[in-house]
Amino acid sequence: MSEMLLNRERALNASASSLQTLVWPEAIESFLKERWTRDFAVYNGESGRFRSLFSWTQLNRVLQEHAFRVPRLRLFKDGRAVDPTAYMEMGPGREPRIKSAGIQCAMDDGATLILDHVHELSRPLTHLRLDLERTFRAPVNINLYASTRATKGFALHWDDHEVLALQVEGRKQWTIYKPTVVNPTVDMKASTPPPTDPPVFDRVLSDGEVLYMPRGWWHLACSIDEPSLHLTIGIVPLSGIDLLHWAVNRLKTNETARKSLPIFGQAEEMDAFLNELQVQVGRCLADNSIDEYMAVLDKLAVGTTVFNLPSSSNYVIRGKTIVRLLSARIIRSRQIGTPGSSA
């Protein structure tokens, strides 16, 4: 086995415990081979098993102690955004201030509260996110959805990333349809036709259950008439398009790839150019290109930021000091959690 493959196996084994907890009793190997990016699945679990990740008590504290801006914190009802002035005091030269009465009134009226990047506010969620990023070697984001009345947050839609939905408290009705376009990208939202076939899944997700959906699967999440709290984990796996972008950058050192297009040449000259270019692209995308690409990304990955104030920056490591190395994680500019993410 190559060194790159061994490194991949080690990374998976070291960080897979969190994923195993979510997809139990299915084995991780089975999930990655049979489900991941291919098919939806539901995993049962004991009620209350996700309370340590987040809770209504934590949500109340976060809303009291932090200042948020739209769209990181927003309210949706029946597929439409609630006017932020209904639940936030905003003015020039000052931070927005959440109006507790406005939040309560909107949620009593059926609105769903959405808080993006909630992993930044919870240590257990921070650890969960890092574990999943090491497992999938891809960016991971966790958002929170809270509701108290029977309504839907977002309209029927699909996401351009993989989704793991964790029902933390209460219950929620989920309706899922097969994709109408395979492996869609975000720029295809407007042109993707809605489903016409009946749903493949239509039932209530209860406290402790987990729902997995690949990107492109249409879904509708509706609250029932009771408090519901769920977390959506969004995972953006690398695609063939990402690999091709990397290959194009590598080809910048190739003389043939840099050559001007023979737009004024004869058909034979154009064909010869394309044939040679195809040869160079084929050489660039050799059999081990995926592992090579991932190894490059691993080297460029940004490590986890750790603070140890008020220790001095000139601190000298002395004998018997234990140093814990944190695994690097891939950071990409793409963000998950804009309006339209799973509700």
Q: First-to-last CA distance in the chain?
A: 42
12/273 Cα distance (integer angstroms): 43
CA torsion sign for 84, 90, 95, 100 is negative
Residue carrying the six token digits 């049979």: 34
Domain boundary assignment for the chain: 3-57+108-235, 240-298
Give the type of residue at 195.
P
Closest listed residue to residue 117, CA positions, set 147, 153, 141, 98: 141
336/120 Cα distance (integer angstroms): 14
Exposed / middle / buried, residue 307 (Cβ in 10 Å: 0-12, 13-18, 19+) = exposed
319/310 Cα distance (integer angstroms): 21
The answer, yes or no, to whether the previous bond of 184 is cis (omega within 30 of 0) is no
Listed in sequence order, the residues at least 6 apart from 29 whose beta carbon sits closer than 8 Å to its beta carbon are: none
- Give kind and range of the element (H or E) at residue 295: helix 289-300
DSSP code, position 199: P
Phi, psi of 218 (to 5 degrees): -70, 140
Residue carrying the six token digits 């991932």: 294
Listed in sequence order, the residues at least 6 apart from 96 whose beta carbon sits closer than 8 Å to its beta carbon are: 67, 68, 69, 70, 88, 89, 90
**How many other CB atoms are there within 10 angstroms of residue 246's CB atom?**
19
Closest listed residue to residue 59, CA positions, set 130, 123, 112, 122: 122
333/247 Cα distance (integer angstroms): 19
- Give kind and range of the element (H or E) at residue 140: strand 140-147
pLDDT at 336: 46
223/112 Cα distance (integer angstroms): 8
287/283 Cα distance (integer angstroms): 9
Tell me the DSSP string of 151-179: -BSS-SB--SSEEEEEEEES-EEEEEE--
The answer regarding whether domain 3-57+108-235 maps to CATH 2.60.120.650 reads yes
**How many other CB atoms are there within 10 angstroms of residue 76's CB atom?**
23
Q: Model's pTM, two decimal places?
A: 0.85
Bridging pattern class, strands 112-115 and 228-235: unpaired
Residue carrying the six token digits 């259950």: 209
Exposed / middle / buried, residue 257 (Cβ in 10 Å: 0-12, 13-18, 19+) = middle
pLDDT at 180: 97
The answer, yes or no, to whether the previous bond of 310 is cis (omega within 30 of 0) is yes
Exposed / middle / buried, residue 322 (Cβ in 10 Å: 0-12, 13-18, 19+) = exposed
3-state helix, strand, coil in the chain (%, to 5): 35, 20, 45
Residue carrying the six token digits 């139990």: 24
pLDDT at 151: 84
25 HSE (CA, 13 A, CB side): 1
Q: What is the pLDDT along the chain (343 residues), one digit of tens a residue?
A: 455 555 555 555 545 689 999 999 999 999 999 999 999 999 999 999 999 999 999 999 999 999 999 999 999 999 999 999 999 998 888 888 999 999 999 999 999 999 999 999 999 999 999 999 999 999 999 999 999 998 888 899 999 999 999 999 999 999 999 999 999 999 999 899 999 999 999 999 999 999 999 999 999 999 999 999 999 999 999 999 999 999 999 999 999 999 999 999 999 999 999 999 999 999 999 889 999 999 998 888 776 777 778 876 555 555 555 544 444 455 454 444 444 467 6
